[in-house]
Structure 1
Amino acid sequence: MKNNFASLAVAAAVVLAAAPAIAEKADRAKPMNVEADALRYDDVQQTSVFTGRVVVTKGTIVIRGAKMTVKQDPEGYQSGTVTAEPGKLAFFRQKRDGVDEYIEGEGETIEYDGRADKVKFIGRAEMRRLRGTTIADETSGSVITYDNTNDQFAVDGGGSAATPANPGGRVRATLAPRNSAATATPPAAAASAPPARLRPSTTIRQEVR
């Protein structure tokens, strides 16, 4: 479909858990809205391919890139692969539940898995946690996988596959202190607030599908 501008709202049919304590996070139940220069849709495969200045919003999620392929499984969960223009980076941003914090990141390719609520940044990958407008945690590597459900991330430096953006193929991270005067949580809110710092994990490096 060769339109100068294409806009699609894809409704997500989310399977809700019976107990409120294990309900899905809000963004997963929101419709996905996509704007682009062109759209090619395959009804049989339930696949949409957006190209040209792609902008995606889904609740608090914002994704930007040059091309995005969106798939929807039989249960209504959506997944997408975003690629950047040559020499540039695709962008992802999402608010963390219950706190005034955002996770944002960049990569040559970004894979989003709505079912698992995970996002993977591939190639010159960077990820930041912002408290308001202040960067609290920051990390970079070859591949970064972020698990929004468990507030965990894993970083692969790439080993010998060094690049100008990641010389030596090493992981680099700056993590804010868990407890300090600047980050202390009021006693009344401490019981309900999630952990202040993201937790590195070695258990979430599986492929996003």
Structure 2
Amino acid sequence: MTSTASSFRMRGLLRLGAIALGLLLLQPALARKDDRQKPMNVEHADSFEGFNAPNSITTLHGHVLLTQGTLKITGDLAKIHFDADQNVSRIEITGTPAHIQQLDDSGNLMTGDAAKLDYDNNHGIAVLTGNAVIKQQGRGEAHGDTLTYNTETSQMSGSSGSDGLVHMTFLPKPRSAPVPTPAPQSKPAAASTATPAAPPAPAASSPTPQGHR
């Protein structure tokens, strides 16, 4: 009975985690939408096999670093897939960990780490598998067996194994301190415009009586 209740609670928590992650997807995002229009550069690799022929794969070995605008991908081994037009269509990265990062239009950094990274360059979708972690500066982070990140919209989705959970942290937005209301100032007394009263007239003096002779 205890085992059944525990399993039910675990499944319930996983469903709640999926719902919470879905709420995260609804948040507005300002991701870089122009990175995929920029050239993909192999900044570093110890060795490689193949070349960019149509519908071919080039394999990079050792300390791999790929860049595309603000997007950076690193790992131990990379397989770059080219389509019929010799454009990069997909990149598979493995590493300890495989790493991806990107700035959004507001300059906030997204980082992702996992044992394996599968990046769809045609749609800007990165799938991280194996102890995946995605952190979004100022928004929060997510942990799971598999996390999917859209580099154009900053939206995430995730899943975990039957014995695990998707874990998320949501960062609150900083609130500005309320501006204190200034105390009302007392108005100065208005100057009186009334005509001042005239001083009282002096009392009339009585005539001095004269003595009889």
What interval of TM-score do these two structures reach, taking the shorter chain for normalisation? 0.5 to 0.7
> Using the alignment, how far apart are the partners of 1:105 and 1:173 within structure 2?
14
| Identity, % of aligned positions | 25
> Using the alignment, how far apart are the partners of 2:67 and 2:152 within structure 1?
19
Count of aligned positions? 142
C-alpha deviation, 1:77, in angstroms: 4.5
Unpaired segments ≥5 residues, structure 2: 1-31, 177-213
Unpaired segments ≥5 residues, structure 1: 1-23, 161-168, 183-209
Structure 2 partner of 1:73: 83
For the 8 Å contact 2:55–2:84, the answer to whether it is kept is no
Q: Say which of 118, 121, 142 aligns to 2:125.
A: 118
Q: Say which of 157, 161, 165 aligns to 2:160.
A: 157
Matched to 1:89, the amino acid is P
Consecutive aligned runs of 4 or more in structure 1 exceeding 4 Å deviation: none
Q: Say which of 147, 151, 154 aligns to 1:148.
A: 151
Matched, 1:101 2:111: no
> Using the alignment, how far apart are the partners of 1:56 and 1:157 within structure 2?
28
> Using the alignment, how far apart are the partners of 2:99 and 2:131 within structure 1?
12
Distance 1:44 1:100, change over 3 A: closer
TM-score computed with the length of structure 1 as normaliser? 0.63
Structure 1 partner of 2:50: 41
Structure 2 partner of 1:173: 168
Structure 2 partner of 1:82: 93
> Using the alignment, how far apart are the partners of 2:70 and 2:109 within structure 1?
9
Matched to 2:91, the amino acid is G
SS state at 1:108 partner? strand
> Using the alignment, how far apart are the partners of 2:99 and 2:60 within structure 1?
15
More strand per residue: 1 or 2? 1
> Using the alignment, how far apart are the partners of 1:148 and 1:82 within structure 2?
16
Larger RCO: Structure 1 or Structure 2 (Cα < 8 Å, ≥ 6 residues apart)? Answer: 2
SS state at 2:142 partner? strand
C-alpha deviation, 1:143, in angstroms: 0.2
Query: Deviations for 1:37-67, whole angstroms, at most 9, x for unmatched residues?
Result: 1111152533210011111111101111100
> Using the alignment, how far apart are the partners of 1:29 and 1:44 within structure 2?
20
**Larger CA Rg, structure 1 vs 2:** 2
Matched, 1:52 2:62: yes
For the 8 Å contact 2:132–2:146, the answer to whether it is kept is yes
SS state at 2:132 partner? strand
Matched to 1:90, the amino acid is A
SS state at 1:28 partner? helix
Matched to 1:175, the amino acid is F
> Using the alignment, how far apart are the partners of 2:65 and 2:113 within structure 1?
14
More helix per residue: 1 or 2? 2
> Using the alignment, how far apart are the partners of 1:125 and 1:113 within structure 2?
17
> Using the alignment, how far apart are the partners of 2:89 and 2:55 within structure 1?
13
Structure 1 partner of 2:4: none
Structure 1 segment 120-139 matched on structure 2, within 5 A: 120-131=127-138, 136-139=139-142
